Structure 1
Amino acid sequence: MSGANNGPTGPQPGQPPHGPSQGRQDPQGDQSPQGSQPPRWAWWVVGIVIPVVGILVTILLSGSDSSDDKSAEPKQPATQSSASTQATAPEEPTDSPEESVAAAKVLYGPVTFEVDLTSAGSRYLDLDPTAPVVMDTDAKSRDLTVSTSQPAPTLYTPHSGNTLALLPASGSAPTEAQCAEAVAEGGAYTGKAARGSRFCLTTNKGRTAYLSVVSAPDDRGIAKFKVTVWETPAA
């Protein structure tokens, strides 16, 4: 019959009266309570704190490592540098024995003395005593003879020995060694005693002397000399 077929159809066997349960939602069953989840600001704090802690830990570890490295380095004694400097410093030059022996002692001088040449004739000089001696008569002890002549007095050595050396007019006073060398290389037996002239000579007793002419007359008058005499090397 058609009327029976068009009516509401009842539930089929095996089906629940209200249809399948998949189509229904429980508004309270699918949602979790809000109290179980942390707030958003907590994640921000955690994100800031963790890097800051990491930076602080890195700084502390670096400082401790550097201090450990410095403490581990061996400390050198303060005197090491000075000791090494003293060990490597060059020694100061000292006088050799030859130089010490060559340096002769001064017997006397420089001493200025006068020779009176107002009258004709000669005067004789003995330079070996502790001061120059001017003699009117010849003697075996003479070291030089001073004769009046023009244009200046003339000097002569005893027995015409080549023991008188003329030096350059200008220059510093020579040493004993320089004077002895000048006599050995350029000794003569005579020389003009003009003002400013300088001579080296060997005395009768083997001493070295340096004689300079302070003033000299053209013909007659007073002549002035300045002399330095050294001891003999063996004295």
Structure 2
Amino acid sequence: MSAENTAPAGPPERPHEQPRWAWWVVGIVVPVVGILVAVLLNGSGSSDGDSGKNVQSAPTTSATSPGSTGQAQMAPTRSATKSADKVLYGPAVVEADVSEGGQAFIELDTSSPVVSTSGKGSDVIYGATTGPPTLGIWNSSSHLAPLPEADPAPTAETCMDAVERNGTYNLEAHRGDRFCLLTGEGRVVYMHVLAAPPGRGIGKLDVTVWEAPAV
């Protein structure tokens, strides 16, 4: 056997190895890619959450549900506040003595009617010298209105409506006539003429006064 045939075999060949710098690059790139993916995912979730907040509808409050917090309060209408018809006093007979001529001044914004000879602050004036007596408003406000004779006894609402529609400041007063007026403090009054002698004499008025309606 020849020497070539008996020479020992060399070590087996190693597989082809990657350069060390390639593994170093891979070690850097993989974490960076992971960080970028995490940032993109978080940004997308935040955007979706903000979008959901932006489209969320604001809570509504019912204006008709009693007792609800933040309930919108609606101003009461005049007809609703007038319907109570809270009587301050009356019917009460008021005597206006003009036997010596002139005028009698009637104050109705008190706990009971007051008749005096001074017009300051009075609500209605009963006057008679010659001819039929008159009822008037001392400051010429259009707060006096006639009522039809055949109508039933009015409510505070009926009287207020009459003054709003037909209010004036001076009217003749005959027995059986009926009137409505507003006082200086906003109370509603119904007056029924019981006696109204022509010329000098004593006039008599049946008076009902209601509290001023809330506004």
Same fold (TM over 0.5): yes
Identity of aligned residues (%): 42
Runs of 4+ residues deviating >2 angstroms: 97-102
For residues 80 and 141 of structure 2, the distance between their equivalents in structure 1, rounded to whole angstroms, comes to 30
Q: Which residue of the other structure, out of 108, 124, 130, is the alignment partner of 1:127? A: 108
For residues 222 and 118 of structure 1, the distance between their equivalents in structure 2, rounded to whole angstroms, comes to 6
Shift of 1:101: 3.1
For residues 80 and 186 of structure 2, the distance between their equivalents in structure 1, rounded to whole angstroms, comes to 19
Opposite residue 220 of structure 1, the aligned amino acid is: R
Question: Highest Rg: 1 or 2?
Answer: 1
Listed as ranges, the matches of 1:140-159 within 5 Å are 141-159=121-139
Show the counterpart of 1:105.
86
Change (3 A) 1:135 1:230: same
* Greater helix share, structure number: 1
Listed as ranges, the matches of 1:22-41 within 5 Å are none
Listed as ranges, the matches of 1:73-222 within 5 Å are 101-102=81-82, 103-139=84-120, 141-222=121-202
Shift of 1:113: 1.9
The 8 Å contact of residues 189 and 208 in structure 2, kept in 1 or not, is answered as yes
Corresponding residue SS for 2:193: strand
In the alignment, structure 2 segments of 5+ residues that lack a partner are: 1-75
In the alignment, structure 1 segments of 5+ residues that lack a partner are: 1-96
For residues 159 and 101 of structure 1, the distance between their equivalents in structure 2, rounded to whole angstroms, comes to 27
Change (3 A) 1:101 1:234: closer
Change (3 A) 1:171 1:150: farther
Instruction: Calculate the aligned-residue CA RMSD, in Å.
Output: 1.7
Aligned length, in residue pairs = 138
TM-score scaled by structure 2? 0.60
Residue-by-residue CA offset, 1:143-174 (whole Å, 9 max, x unaligned): 01111144321111122111000111222110
Corresponding residue SS for 2:139: helix
Shift of 1:100: 5.6
For residues 201 and 95 of structure 2, the distance between their equivalents in structure 1, rounded to whole angstroms, comes to 10
